[in-house]
Structure 1
Amino acid sequence: MADQHTRPAELILASGSPRRRELLSSLGAAFRVVSADIEEVSTHQDPAEVARDLAEQKARAVARREPGALVLASDTLVALDAQILGKPPSEAENAEYLRRLSGRTHSVYSGVALLGPGGLASGVEHTLVTFRALDESEVLYYARSGEGLDKAGGYGIQGLGSALISRIEGEYSNVVGFPLGLVIRLLRAAGVSVWGQT
């Protein structure tokens, strides 16, 4: 997308997520934030392709408002038996999600898209997460905390939700919602210096 002699375009993170901001900052890249604010609807059925599609939609939405910029977008979703579990709208729905996830392994998919003057590049990261068996008091305690209400699948691995999990197979940062390995590959391919390397 950019050769070694071309100064990369300004990098924009198309997300208001404080977790994604913090993770991207940790890579040493200079960027600013412009929230995509799109209606998250995809025509795809496969969860991995839904995640990729939504990330690409977010990147395009911000790129239309920021011509010439390099726009980085991400979308993370949780799927159990190929059924997507979105952000629970209520405490009761959050508790129901936790009951379904209890003692089982589910998939976390993050789509990442990078759109700039040189074109679009995207990818998907997949991580398997296993919940320990939860009793009803634990389900209700976590649901009442409110931590899961703004998160795919109804839990956050980086907070109190870490106590729900017995095993992870794959990249931890993917479950947080920003798979750093994939983000680094896409940024470096576009000529952006991260961790001191282009």
Structure 2
Amino acid sequence: MMSFSTSLILASGSSARRMLLENAGLTVQARPVDLDEEALRRSCEAQGQTLSETAIALADAKANLATRDLGFEDLTVAADQILDLDGVAFAKPDSVAEAGEHLRRLRGRTHVLRTAVVLYKGGEKIWEHLASPRLTMRAFSEAFLEAYLEREGAAILSCVGAYRLEGPGIQLFSAVDGTQDAVLGLPLLPLLGELRRLKAIST
């Protein structure tokens, strides 16, 4: 009998991505990988790849690392996200001060989150998907920004764009055009659709 759930390997240490999968009823084994993401981004840029192509390349690299020594039938999910402000990519901030600078650059403007997800079976990619939610930051005051940085502190250093939309970061925005799961880093409905097509979960 086909199962409502399935077991996935998640090539990430992201608590948000794991939460999305587990809340959907899937069993997740997290397998964080040691990838020099900045070096790969620079390589993709040198090759003239778009930020969307780079996001997919990063997800691919994570999946390749995570699928080493796995069985042929193992399903592995990997994802990556690049913040695109008019063609300029933002990396995760290294400090709270740098987070503040990122937010000042994003303030009052619309950016795109190039969010890639790939599915591997064994060591072979069998599916990929790219979502591009658009987010508009409001023209928040310096006082608000300082209070926000003090409240969030180091928690935002693991976030592209220096915000957690599932937390106080939602107050930075005036509009979000895209699904919450894609903003959080894993477009869930397309992934579930592919798992149903593969008959990995019940149809």
TM-score (norm 2): 0.86
**Deviation of residue 76 (structure 1)?**
1.4
Q: Residues 119-134 of structure 1 correspond to what in structure 2 (within 5 A)? A: 119-120=124-125, 121-134=127-140
Q: Is the 8 A contact 1:112 1:182 kept in 2?
A: no
- Match of 1:97, SS state, is helix
- Aligned residue in 2 for 1:11: 8
2: CA distance, partners of 1:135 / 1:47: 30
In structure 2, relative to structure 1, the CA distance for the partners of 1:191 and 1:39 (3 Å cut) is farther
Q: Which letter maps to 2:168?
A: L
- Match of 2:16, SS state, is helix
Which runs of no fewer than 5 residues in structure 2 stay unpaired?
none
- Aligned residue in 1 for 2:91: 86
- Aligned residue in 2 for 1:53: 57
2: CA distance, partners of 1:76 / 1:164: 19
1: CA distance, partners of 2:31 / 2:118: 15
Q: Which letter maps to 2:86?
A: D
Q: Is the 8 A contact 2:64 2:123 kept in 1?
A: no
* Equivalent of residue 169 in structure 1, options 177, 180, 194: 177
2: CA distance, partners of 1:166 / 1:91: 23
Q: Residues 2-151 of structure 1 correspond to what in structure 2 (within 5 A)? A: 11-40=8-37, 41-42=40-41, 43-44=43-44, 45-68=49-72, 69-117=74-122, 119-120=124-125, 121-144=127-150, 145-146=152-153, 147-151=155-159
1: CA distance, partners of 2:144 / 2:191: 34
- Match of 1:183, SS state, is helix
Q: Is the 8 A contact 1:122 1:186 kept in 2?
A: no
Per-residue CA distance 1:110-142 (angstroms, 9 max, x = gap) = 110111148311111110000110111122222
- Match of 2:115, SS state, is strand
Which runs of no fewer than 5 residues in structure 1 stay unpaired?
none
- Match of 2:134, SS state, is strand
2: CA distance, partners of 1:55 / 1:185: 19
| Deviating more after overlay: 132-141 vs 154-163 | 132-141
Q: Is the 8 A contact 1:55 1:74 kept in 2?
A: yes
Per-residue CA distance 1:52-87 (angstroms, 9 max, x = gap) = 111111111011132322111111121111111110
**Deviation of residue 143 (structure 1)?**
2.4
| Deviating more after overlay: 124-133 vs 176-185 | 176-185
Q: Is the 8 A contact 1:111 1:125 kept in 2?
A: yes
- Match of 2:132, SS state, is strand
- Computed over aligned residues only, the root mean square deviation of the Cα atoms, in angstroms, reads 2.1
| Deviating more after overlay: 181-190 vs 64-73 | 181-190
Q: Is the 8 A contact 1:125 1:182 kept in 2?
A: no
Q: Which letter maps to 2:194?
A: L
**Deviation of residue 170 (structure 1)?**
1.5
